[in-house]
Amino acid sequence: MSAPTQPARRRVGASLPDFPWDSLAAAKATASAHPGGLVDLSVGTPVDATPEVVAEALRSAADAPGYPQTYGTAPLRETVAAWFARRRGVPALDPDGVLPTIGSKELVAWLPFLLGLGEGDVVAHPAVAYPTYDVGARLARATPLGADTVEELEAAWNAGSRIRLLWLNSPSNPTGAVRTVQDLAALVAWARAHDVVVVSDECYAELGWEPAHDTTVGGLVASVLDPRVCGGDHTGLLVAYSTSKQSNLAGYRAAFLAGDVALVREVLELRKHAGMIVPWPVQVALRAALADDEHVAVQRERYRARRELLRPALQRAGFRVDASQAGLYLWSTRDEPCRTTIDLLARRGILAAPGDFYGPPGARHVRIALTATDERIGQVPDRLQDLG
């Protein structure tokens, strides 16, 4: 008797794109061979020290023998709500609509699944975007769709796309573009008219550089929870936020989801079952980071100084810097294929991220990060001098 035939197992990984940074191996090897060493501007990982106020909070919570709360403590959730009121122009966030997460990338990757999306559903995201929006849709067996405007979304809807989740990203990674209040309001209105959940990734909001977005001169990067955007009603709206960039906490994985209480509780229930819990010492550190604005201001000025050195050096070398109103990147082009630019920079010991990582519309840009030490970034002007 023959053995019973086993049903074919569908491998989710088979539907995922290759991990983009793997394609940079040759360029990294070239750049690393430069006599002055590698200047790695390809990733957005912080290099400056974790602020002492946060490190001390972590140490204070080191004795943590019991399981932490998936929901986070009431004081932590209240701290997040107070931060939104103080820093983001959102005066009435319900602390019950806050959920700590294990960094923001895992949240982006798993949120479509946690919200119950699946085959036949569509996840819309910016056309030039952080790759994990696309990956998260595929993990849920949904379909990713690049779309930036109400007109594009409406056309897709009318063509039969069952959009159930709309990702926004302002300030954008990789472009640094910032959406206006009017733009956000129009997108929220469209989503509400079609019963689409809106999730806004706002992880770079404290790093605005132009006056309209620079908090040091009274500017602000608008949140989707801003009453000017949503009329004070957070129904159907969520914000993903991380302290990795503003507080040098990438290694802590300290982030949160905030907004619609009903949606947060829906996500919470699944995360409780799955054991997706932020460690207690990290929850204490997250609260300390969000309660202290001084270290954020200090770090912002470090990035400002690096930006003010890099941007003119790139422009003298024939680059045009587009968008880049906020965030940790200079979205740059020499009006040539991005991989040509990557090779040109690698020969000078500089590694950047090719724009095609972020979708076909980025194929003639490179993303140049501010996240390297002052010493390394100080090498860039001389290395680009022959291109001027």
Quick: pLDDT tens for 224-273: 999 999 999 999 999 999 999 999 999 999 999 999 999 999 999 999 99
**Is 6 among the domain residues?**
no
Regarding whether 354 and 209 lie in a shared domain, the answer is no
**Is 31 among the domain residues?**
yes
- For position 23, what pLDDT does the model report? 87
CB 347 within 8 A of CB 30: yes
Regarding whether 169 and 288 lie in a shared domain, the answer is yes
Range of the domain at 376: 12-49+295-387
Regarding whether 228 and 91 lie in a shared domain, the answer is yes
How far is the C-alpha of 231 from the C-alpha of 238, rounded, in Å?
14
Among 270, 292, 314, the domain-final residue is 292
Regarding whether 366 and 305 lie in a shared domain, the answer is yes
CB 181 within 8 A of CB 228: yes
Whether this prediction's pTM lies above 0.75 is answered by yes
- Residues of the chain with pLDDT > 90, as a percent, come to 94
Residues in the chain where the model's pLDDT stays below 50: 1-4, 7-9, 14
**Is 5 among the domain residues?**
no
**Is 32 among the domain residues?**
yes
Regarding whether 212 and 91 lie in a shared domain, the answer is yes
**Is 4 among the domain residues?**
no
Q: Which two tokens stand for residue 347?
A: 């020969």
How far is the C-alpha of 25 from the C-alpha of 67, rounded, in Å?
40
- For position 9, what pLDDT does the model report? 47
* Number of domains making up the chain: 2
List pLDDT tens digits, range 97-153.
999 999 999 999 999 999 999 999 999 999 999 999 999 999 999 999 999 999 999
Closest to 209 measured CA to CA, from 325, 314, 331: 325
CATH number of the domain that residue 363 is part of: 3.90.1150.10
How far is the C-alpha of 343 from the C-alpha of 87, rounded, in Å?
40
Q: Which residues of 254-291 are buried (b: 16+ CB within 10 A; e: fewer)?
A: bbbbbbbbebbeebbeebeeeebbbbbbbbbbbbbbbb
Regarding whether 286 and 157 lie in a shared domain, the answer is yes
